[in-house]
Amino acid sequence: MSQPEQPWYVAGLAFACQSCGRCCAGPEEGYVFIDPGEVAAAAAFLHMPLDEFQARYVRLAYRRFSIIEHPQTHDCIFLADSNGAAARDCAIYPVRPAQCRTWPFWVRNLRNRDDWLAAGNRCPGVNRGQLHGLEEIERKRNESGP
């Protein structure tokens, strides 16, 4: 009986967030999907009533909830500059959605080495820093959704 084929990243992948905010910024990155449990956690984190949080920060997109974007920049509404520094902060970082927690280990970035390198063209943290093992990558890939 043959062994199942191992993914191309079986030896692990390096990633270290550079806090550039590119994964949260601009019109090219798309939607930040958030599930009902994450909406509740973010509302609690910001000490807001759930209905107020939903009215201010959540919209329906493709039959899913999405965090709204800044009207001019199209950045995630929770992305903010860090006192003029190059780094950017997320106002809900401790309770950020799974989509954010699992970057860059998304299905679309892990299909093959070229897709991983393309993600690296947008994200300076790809192929830098800590090596993440296969088990962690697979867990995040599975948590990231479609």
Q: Confidence class of residue 146 from pLDDT cuts 50, 70 and 90?
A: low
**Are 115 and 74 within 8 A, CB to CB?**
no
**Are 3 and 50 within 8 A, CB to CB?**
no
CA–CA separation, 140 and 39 (whole Å): 20
Residue 81 has pLDDT above 70, yes or no: no
Residue 57 has pLDDT above 70, yes or no: yes
Residue 81 or residue 118, greater confidence: 118
**Cα dist from 79 to 5, 13, 89, 145, whole Å:** 39, 26, 6, 22
pTM of the model: 0.83
What's the mean per-residue pLDDT of the chain? 89
pLDDT digits (tens, 9 = 90+) for 1-10: 566 789 999 9
Between the ranges 62-66, 71-75, 77-81, where is the mean pLDDT highest? 62-66
pLDDT digits (tens, 9 = 90+) for 117-138: 999 998 999 999 999 999 999 9
**Are 137 and 13 within 8 A, CB to CB?**
yes
CA–CA separation, 53 and 44 (whole Å): 9
